[in-house]
């Protein structure tokens, strides 16, 4: 069973654009075709806590889609990004024949992940290797912008 192409939107973002905002509702699964996206939250002290890096072939928005709750994090393009937004209607259509226990298991896993993310945010914990990787990507993007400004 394939997804109706009318239920898929292709979107493009520039480096620095927000793709998702914490607290916003969204009824789509976002599949990254190209580019890199930083996923982060603010901790209780207002400091940025990086939760992940999403790249080509990966997805985001699944927690909000499955739990029917607002996004638990922000997602910002680190580079130019192209992605597909697949509507919840299309996803639901694909899942209509799935066993109920499998859907319940998936929802349970999403809720556990949401609780873990909240603990990480509250405690300001982040992976230093991931943080270094994102900073390196941001530096490359900044260098590209500077070079483009010098040319024009």
**The tokens of 72 are what?**
């638990």
CA torsion angle for 50, 53, 59, 61 (degrees, to 10)? 10
pLDDT tens, position by position, 11-70: 999 999 999 999 998 889 999 999 999 999 887 778 888 888 999 999 998 888 877 888
Distance, in Å, from the CA atom of 126 to the CA atom of 112, rounded to the nearest integer, reads 18
Determine the pLDDT at residue 21.
94
pLDDT(148) > 70: no
pLDDT tens per residue, range 95-143: 788 888 887 887 788 788 777 767 766 666 655 566 666 666 766 665 5
The whole model's pTM is what? 0.69
What pLDDT sits at residue 151? 47
Q: Which domains does the chain have, with CATH numbers?
A: 5-151 (2.60.120.10)
Farthest CA pair distance, the chain:
59
């Amino acid at each position: 069973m394939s997804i109706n192409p009318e239920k898929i939107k292709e979107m493009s973002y520039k480096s620095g654009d927000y793709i998702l905002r914490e607290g916003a509702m969204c009824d789509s699964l976002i599949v990254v075709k190209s580019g890199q996206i930083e996923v982060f939250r603010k901790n209780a002290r207002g400091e940025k806590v990086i939760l992940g890096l999403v790249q080509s072939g990966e997805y985001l928005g699944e927690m909000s889609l499955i739990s029917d709750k607002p996004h638990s994090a922000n997602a910002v393009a680190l580079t130019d990004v192209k992605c597909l937004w697949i509507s919840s209607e299309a996803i639901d259509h694909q899942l209509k024949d799935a066993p109920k226990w499998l859907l319940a298991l998936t929802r349970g896993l999403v809720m556990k992940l949401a609780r873990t993310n909240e603990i990480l945010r509250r405690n300001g914990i982040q992976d230093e290797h991931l943080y270094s990787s994102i900073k390196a990507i941001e530096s490359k993007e900044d260098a590209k912008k500077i070079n483009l400004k010098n040319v024009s």
